[in-house]
Structure 1
Amino acid sequence: MLPAFEIDAKFIVMLMIGAAVFALVQGLTGVFTVATQKRQVNRRLQVGEKVEGISALVVELRKQRGLTASGARSENLRWLSNMIVASGLPYDQRKWLTYVGASALICGVGGYVLLKTPLAVPGGMVLGGVLIPLGVLKWKAGKRNAALGFQLPQALDIIVRSLEAGHPVPAAVALVGREMSDPIGTEFGMAADEIAYGATLEQAVERMAERCQHADVDLFAATVRLQEKTGGNLTGLLKLNANTVRDRHKMRLKIKAASSEGRASAMILTAAPFVALGMIIMMAPNFYGEVIDEPLVKYGLAGLGFWVFLGNMIMRRMIDMRL
């Protein structure tokens, strides 16, 4: 009977520990949720609490996006400037250079430790100092663009309802900047600040399209430009614009669903050789252990990894459907 009692006691103790951990997680989640709700809804409003005046706010927001005080991009390495602006990350040149240098140093030292050859140092530094930062920027820009495309119809609906209620266009744009979260809230907020600073609606929306580099935002800018040049019912045009953006988003989701099986197969086939290699090393370490230190084997494995990566990139480009 004693062992059974011990098992029951252990079970009760584990149950109590699990309940305590669950309660702790729920409590921390509630605290962070309340703190998040108390924070300003987007970055522009957070910056607005720290600076005074529309002009200072516009300049500060532009600097944080990697733009000049006038809103222009750097002409040096313009493609890199475009990626920085599209990523939406707060730009601080000193911090970014520190992170890139640390990444290059870590990858260079790690490559030398793993491969035991001086040639791995420059390769690792290129990986950590160039490829990884560019990959992070591209990933952040893609993620931000996806969020922009999802939020844009809601923003256009807010503008339409505001115009139907009799508000002027600048007030409708500013309402989106106050009520919606990032990234669309900050973008429309910057446009509203530029309008208040003296720009026309067309100029502010054009600059927003240049910052976002998103096809749906370009369509919105073209709609505003068309209405500015030819006149007409802006509310009706924006309704059509919102419906078009929604239809494009639905089509993207349909394409993603239709290609999900192929993408899953590609991921499985790509991971299979590496999983098999790991299992062989765990079950029979001497299978590759006797030759793993040979330089030819190291270079061969590195070459195979590169060709797998290159093949996946080529296939991704082949099936990348843009609407």
Structure 2
Amino acid sequence: MTLTLLYAAVFIAALVAVEAIMRGYFRTSERHRAVNHRLSLLDVSDDHGKTYRDMLKERGADGSWRQIPWMQRLQQFYAQSGIQFDARRFALFAIIGGLLTWLAVQFLAPSNLVRIPAFLLICLLVPALVVWRARATRMRKFELKLPEALDVANRSLAAGHPLPAAIALVAREMPDPIGTEFGLLSDELTYGVALDDALINLSNRVGVEDLNLLAISLSVQAGTGGNLVEILQNLSKTLRDRTMLKAKVKAISSEGRITAIFMSIYPFLLYAMIKTLSPTYFDPVWASGYGTIVVSVLLAVMAVGNVILYKMINFEY
């Protein structure tokens, strides 16, 4: 009994010691970590102009937005995702992902006539889905933090600071993605870009609809005058109410969304399960010569059904 208690005491002491060391390490690293990505770059270099150009370049937003329409849309879509392009990491992920995809397609598809189109389709869809997911996540974070950023700017304006100083304060105090985007906005205003144009660039880089309300409010106030503090207070309250409404709608429609997701992936999961348990089960379908046609028709019907299904659970508000 005494030996068991001794072992227990040693274990607890070791656990507490490890926790104390790890807590101290993470607290130290957190103190030395910049609030957002822009400030971490400025810690390395004091050249604001170079930092501004580098950030636009790594986001793919350094070119003109007025190019070929579909190239413009792709570039804008990628810039709104906030993904920082790294050639070596991209090549590594492409090679590993391509190999894993080809192995999975070889296992599930019976012939090269199906494998090659499926492989190419997956290789095109997966990067698009990754960028789309990153974009949606970043936009959601921006929407949640935007009212708080307006409150920070509002307190700065109430203290007597000009609007550029209030925007710079938001860039220093707020985490990503708010901090970095308002930092780029502050840099553009510093380099002589008009407020309206800078707000349009911000909206293009982020893609959040609530920024249109901010741009309109600031543009109207700059042209007609008025109490900017009161305007930002009302705008912050409006954005919070919109966020609460979105959360309520999302909660009410959660059951339908989960059902739609399950119905979308269930046929593929069922096919993979049957193929694993009985590899020769679908051989008669492919041997008949009509397997490719049947699968193509079924995929087309599923695509139409999924479009209708997601239209039923996505609400405009």
User: Do both share a fold (TM > 0.5)?
Assistant: yes
Q: Equivalent residues in 2 for 1:190-209 (5 A)? A: 190-209=184-203
State the structure with bigger RCO (CA 8 A, min sep 6), 1 or 2: 2
Q: Which residue type is aligned with residue 138 of structure 1?
A: W
- Maintained 8 Å contact 2:260/2:309: no
Matches of 2:283 and 2:224 in 1, distance apart?
A: 72
- Change beyond 3 A, Cα 1:28–1:313: farther
Deviation at 1:267, TM superposition (A): 4.4
Name the CA shift for 1:81/1:279 in 2 (closer, same or farther; >3 Å): closer
The reply on whether 1:122 has 2:117 as its aligned counterpart is yes
The amino acid that maps onto 2:150 is L
Question: 115-124 vs 148-157, which deviates more?
Answer: 115-124
Q: Give the Cα separation in 2 of the matches to 1:304 and 1:19.
A: 61
Give yes or no for the alignment of 1:176 onto 2:173. no
Correspondence 1:291 to 2:281: yes
Does the aligned pair in 2 maintain the 1:145–1:214 contact within 8 Å?
A: yes
Once residues 133 and 49 of structure 2 are traced to their aligned partners in structure 1, the CA distance between those partners, rounded to angstroms, is 32
Aligned partners of 2:301, 2:10: CA distance in 1, in Å? 52
Hey, what does 2:151 align to over in structure 1?
157
3-state DSSP of counterpart to 2:84: coil
* 8 A contact 1:73–1:82 mirrored in 2: yes
Are the aligned partners of 1:108 and 1:122 in contact in 2 as well (CA < 8 Å)?
no
Distance 2:187 2:93 in 1: 32
Q: Report the 3-state secondary structure (helix = DSSP H, G, I; strand = E; otherwise coil) of the residue aligned with 1:182.
A: coil
Distance 1:267 1:16 in 2: 49
Structure 1 residues 37 and 56 mapped into 2: Cα distance closer, same or farther (>3 Å)?
same
SS for the counterpart of 1:171 is helix
Do the aligned residues in 2 keep the contact of 1:108 with 1:125 (CA within 8 Å)? no
TM-score normalised by structure 2 residue count: 0.82
**Counterpart-to-counterpart distance in 2, 1:66 and 1:277:** 39
The correspondence for 2:37, drawn from 34, 37, 43, is 43
Could you list the runs of 5+ residues in structure 2 that have no partner in the other structure? none
Separation (CA, whole Å) in 1 of partners of 2:109 and 2:168 = 56
**Cα gap change, 1:107 to 1:290, in 2 (>3 Å):** closer
> 2: CA distance between counterparts of 1:36 and 1:246?
29
Q: 1:264 to 1:19 in 2, by over 3 A?
A: farther
Corresponding position of 2:67: 75
How many equivalent residue pairs? 309
Q: Residues 121 and 191 of structure 1: is their aligned pair in 2 closer, same or farther, counting only changes over 3 Å?
A: same
Q: Which runs of 5+ in 1 are unaligned?
A: none
**3-state SS of paired residue (1:49):** helix
Counterparts of 1:301 and 1:124, CA distance in 2: 15
